[in-house]
Amino acid sequence: MHSQYEEMWDRLGMDIPAHDSLLEALGNFYGDIYLSQEGRLKGAEYLDFVLSEVHGLRIQELVQAKEQGKKVIGTFCVFVPEEIVWAANGITVGLCAGAEIGREAAERVLPRSTCALIKSFMGFKMARICPYFESCDIVIGETTCDGKKKAFEILDEHTPVYVMEVPQMKEARDRELWKQEIVRFMDLVQELTGVVITEERLAGAIRMINDRRRVLQRLNRLRKAVPTPISGRDALLVNQISFYDDPPRFTEKIGELCDELEARIEKAEGVVPRGTPRVMVSGCPMAVPNWKLPFLIESGGAVMVGEESCIGTRNTRDLVREDGRTGEDMLDHLTDRYMQIDCACFTPNNERLDNVVRMARDLEVDGVIHYGLQFCHPYGIEAFKLERALKAADIPVLTIETDYSNEDAEILKNRVEAFVEMIR
């Protein structure tokens, strides 16, 4: 892929040697964690292709779209209403990063005690190694956790950042604030793109993004089968890719993958033998290429059948109502849908406890692993209440805290294996 795209990366202002190292590490990692799996689905060819071209073809598409006058908008949180961007003929890309590679650069401006996800996106920008970042006309931050909120002030010195104010509670006044924020965001997007968001355009974008959520809901339902027809690693990758790829293409390809899964289920074929412990992961998002924990779970004798996370069901569970007739209705429906997100940045956030227990029962899991990134206070502290709710429901739980490094891999491996042994 390298020589073919080098000129494009250079034009984007990237640091080519540093980017080469990233691609090499990504390729090796992907080979070890994904391509080594046995009996993979035919539909996984799409995943392999997208990943092999993740910094090539898709970026070329973005560059071409920009040449035609389209705007590319980067996001860090599932709170950003993508529908508004697509309705204005724009393109969204999820920028949360899951690798350590720019950590040194990030630690020049951030305390070491910052969560790995924030350090990663800051490092990616400062080290100029992410072509998605470099393709963005603007990035959208939000006031979720304190770490992100403050990091966006520094990121703004390196690239244009616009911050949405996400409320911290879910009272009527918070909903009103969020609706106003969506309107403010809509003004920004219209100004940036020069496109007026008509009711027709917005309705179309709502349907398109809902379709993407619906296909992911279908995938999640199929994972309930015993034995489950797809590895957790592949399912996570599907969710990760949903933040980068063109939504209609993604929906079509994952629809085909789901057809294949249905055929597998009909033949009672699973990706693991019946009786393999079923584990669900809950907590912080796992951005590409953060596959450390899923790999440890699945090489440790269990299978991951669900992710209660923003790169998982928290992003796909709720749809925007499609029966809005007027622009005002649609704005209300968008507001209501996004206010259902049960991020740990809210207080109280008891609906998340209910959602996790319900999901664990529904997927018939043998245990839940709560995944927190070190220095993430919202999820780290909420883990206490979540653990208590799961224990009360008689669902075994393991709480872990980690980062993107491999330093704790051995300890984590032992803890995960001991947990899998216990729930077997």
| Interface with ligand BJ8 (CB under 6 A) | 77-79, 115, 117-118, 144-145, 147-148, 284-285, 310, 341, 343, 345, 373, 376, 378-379
What minimum distance in Å lies between the beta carbon of 4 and ligand BJ8? Answer: 33
Task: Locate 382 and state its tokens.
Answer: 């909420």
Nearer to ligand BJ8, 197 or 343 (CB): 343
Nearer to ligand BJ8, 120 or 135 (CB): 120
- Which residue, chain included where needed, has tokens 């998982």? 312
Nearer to ligand BJ8, 80 or 235 (CB): 80
What minimum distance in Å lies between the beta carbon of 403 and ligand BJ8? Answer: 10
Nearer to ligand BJ8, 147 or 300 (CB): 147
| Pick from 309, 311, 285, 299: nearest CA to 416 | 299
Strand order in 161-164's β-sheet? 91-94, 72-75, 138-142, 161-164
Nearer to ligand BJ8, 46 or 79 (CB): 79
What minimum distance in Å lies between the beta carbon of 378 and ligand BJ8? Answer: 5
Nearer to ligand BJ8, 72 or 373 (CB): 373
What minimum distance in Å lies between the beta carbon of 1 and ligand BJ8? Answer: 29
Nearer to ligand BJ8, 144 or 220 (CB): 144
What minimum distance in Å lies between the beta carbon of 148 and ligand BJ8? Answer: 5
Strand 397-402 and strand 367-373: pairing?
parallel
Q: Are 253 and 46 within 8 A, CB to CB?
A: yes
Distance CA 339, CA 346 (A): 10
Distance CA 324, CA 81 (A): 16
Q: Are 79 and 341 within 8 A, CB to CB?
A: yes
What minimum distance in Å lies between the beta carbon of 330 and ligand BJ8? Answer: 22
Q: Are 331 and 323 within 8 A, CB to CB?
A: no
Q: How many CB atoms lie within 10 A of CB 199?
A: 15
What minimum distance in Å lies between the beta carbon of 115 and ligand BJ8? Answer: 3
Strand order in 303-308's β-sheet? 303-308, 278-283, 367-373, 397-402
Q: Residue 120 carries which side chain, given as an amino acid letter? A: S
Task: Locate 168 and state its tokens.
Answer: 């911290």
